[in-house]
Structure 1
C-alpha cells in the first residue's frame, strides 16, 4: 500500500523544484529528502524531477500531477483540520432525543421555536424514556437524553446540568387540602396516585412518611407525571410531581410537600463521540438556554 505521507512530500517538491528548499520547508535533512524523492520515483514509475544544468525541472508526468496532488493535500488538510464554525441554517439533520413526555410538554415548544428560527432543516425525534439505561446512547441510536443525574451513571456518558427541581403536591381546586395548612398527617390521610415508570409500589415519599410513623394509601400507579396531574385535576387523588412540570395550574392547587425531601438535578446526557460535533454542540446549547429561560420565567 502506498505511503500517503509521500503526497505531502511530492506536493512540496513539485512546488519548490529543489530538494534542498523542499527539505528546509519540511524540516528534513537534504539526504532524507533525497531518499523520499527516490521512493516517489519508485512508487510513480517516473523520474518526476530531472537535472537540467544546476537545477531540477519537472517531467511531463510531474506537471500532470502537480495540480492534482496539491488539491489532494489541501482536501486532506481540510478533513483533518478542526471545524471552527457551522451554518445551522444550512444543516439538514434529525436528532433523536430520549426524554419524558412531561419534559417535551414543558420545554419542547420553546425548543422547536428556536429550531424553526435558526435551523429549519433540523428535525427532532422524541422517544419516551422508560428507564435510566444509557445503552441507546452508547449504541448511537439516541443523540441526547434528559433525566435526573444518577451518581452511578456510566462514566462513558457525559452530563451537563439543566436545572434543579423539587417534588410538590398537586390536588384539584376545591380539594380538602387546598384549605388550611398541609401537615404530614393530613397529606398521608388522603388517597394518592403514585408515578413509577417501573411499576414499583412505593418510593422516597413513603420512606419519609414511614420515618414519621405515617403511611399513605396509594390507589393508583401510573407511568408518567402528566397522567398523575390529569388524574389529580379530575379526581380527589393527591399527586406528587416535579414543580417544573406544573406550568399549567388551571383547576389545580399546588403546595410544598410537608416532608424533608432533597431537591434533584435534571441534566442532559450524551456520548463522548458527539461531544465535538458542532451541530450537536449547537443543539445542547439551545436546550440549555431554553431550559434556563423557562425556569427563569417561572420564578415569582
Structure 2
C-alpha cells in the first residue's frame, strides 16, 4: 500500500465519487464548494493513490479510465455504509452557547453585522460574536481557530480552506462627484495616473492588479494614503481630488449616500471573486455549518451584497 493511498480520507472518497459521477472538474468543484484549483490538487493526490489517471481527457471533457469504472460500484457501497453510521444529535441553534470570531472589512461590519446580530438574537441568543479586520496574511488564524469565518477577495481559495463563492464583481474608480475626471465615461491610464490614490490596505486584495499592470510598463501610481477602512476612504475621497479603486457594488452603494461618483477603467479589466472561507477542521461541525449558512443567506438577501447591485453574475 503506497503512502498516498494510506492517507486517503473520507473527504477524498467523496471527492472521488463526485468526480466519477460528474466527469467534470468545474461542476464537481461547484458541488463540493471548493475552487477548481483545489479540486485539481485533490485529483492529483487520488491519481497517485490509485496509480491511475482515473479521469482521462477526451476533447473538451473527460472519460473514466478502466480502473475508475471498476471503482464506481465499490466506492458507492463504502459511502453508503458510512452514511448508515449513527448520526449526531440534531443541532439546535437556540441552545448553542459558542463564541465565534468573524473577519472581514469594515464595510461588511457596518452593513452585514447588524443583520447577523439581529438574526442571532432571534434564533441563537446564547451565541456570542467577535469581529476583526481581515488582513491578507491571516490564513493561519483560520487554521488555529482564532478566526472561524472570513469574507474576502481572491481568485482561488488557498489549500486547507473550504469556501463558497458569494459572487463576482468588476473594479472601478471612485471619486468626488465634481471631480475633473467625472466628465469622462471611462478612465484612461493617463488620467488615472494624474491624481493621487487612496488604497484600502485591509481586507482582500482589491487593487494590486492595477499596480502589476502599471509595473509591466515601468509606471506606478502615487499612493497618497494607505488606510484600512472604507469609512475613512469615503471621507477623504469626498473632500479631495484623490481616487480610490474598489469593487463596483461597493462604489454604487457609497455613491447613494455620499457626494461621490465612479467610472469604469478603460485600460485594464479585472474580475474579483467574493468568498466566505473557513478551515477544513470546521467542515463537519454542525454549529459552524449553521453559522456559515446563516451568513451566506443574509449576504444574499442584503442590498449591500454584490447581488444587490447587479454586477457580474457568479
TM-score range, shorter chain: 0.5 to 0.7
Distance 1:251 1:134, change over 3 A: same
User: Which of 172, 178, 184 is the equivalent residue of 2:182?
Assistant: 178
Distance 1:243 1:124, change over 3 A: farther
User: CA deviation digits over 1:196-252, x for unaligned, max 9?
Assistant: 349x9x932133345678653332222344332221112111111123333232211
Is contact 1:146–1:266 with CA below 8 Å preserved after alignment?
yes
User: Which of 218, 224, 233 is the equivalent residue of 1:228?
Assistant: 233
Is contact 1:163–1:292 with CA below 8 Å preserved after alignment?
no
The unaligned stretches of length 5 or more in structure 1 are: 1-79
1:211-226 correspondence runs (5 A): 215-226=220-231
RMSD: 2.8
Aligned partner of 1:136 in structure 2 is 141
User: CA deviation digits over 1:79-107, x for unaligned, max 9?
Assistant: x9422522212222211112222222232
- The TM-score, its normalising length taken from structure 1, stands at 0.64
Distance 1:284 1:255, change over 3 A: same
Aligned partner of 1:123 in structure 2 is 128
The unaligned stretches of length 5 or more in structure 2 are: 1-84
- The TM-score, its normalising length taken from structure 2, stands at 0.61
Distance 1:126 1:197, change over 3 A: closer
User: CA deviation digits over 1:102-152, x for unaligned, max 9?
Assistant: 222232222222222222222221012222342112112221122223547
Name the SS for the 1:166 alignment partner. strand
Structure number with bigger Rg? 1
Is contact 2:175–2:262 with CA below 8 Å preserved after alignment?
yes
Distance 1:258 1:112, change over 3 A: farther
Using the alignment, how far apart are the partners of 1:152 and 1:289 within structure 2? 20
User: Which of 156, 160, 172 is the equivalent residue of 2:160?
Assistant: 156
Query: Shift of residue 273 of structure 1?
Result: 2.4
Name the SS for the 1:82 alignment partner. coil
User: Which of 241, 247, 251 is the equivalent residue of 2:259?
Assistant: 251
Name the SS for the 1:86 alignment partner. coil
Q: How many residues align?
A: 218
User: Which of 99, 103, 116 is the equivalent residue of 1:94?
Assistant: 99
Distance 1:217 1:137, change over 3 A: closer
User: CA deviation digits over 1:39-87, x for unaligned, max 9?
Assistant: xxxxxxxxxxxxxxxxxxxxxxxxxxxxxxxxxxxxxxxxx94225222
Name the SS for the 1:124 alignment partner. strand
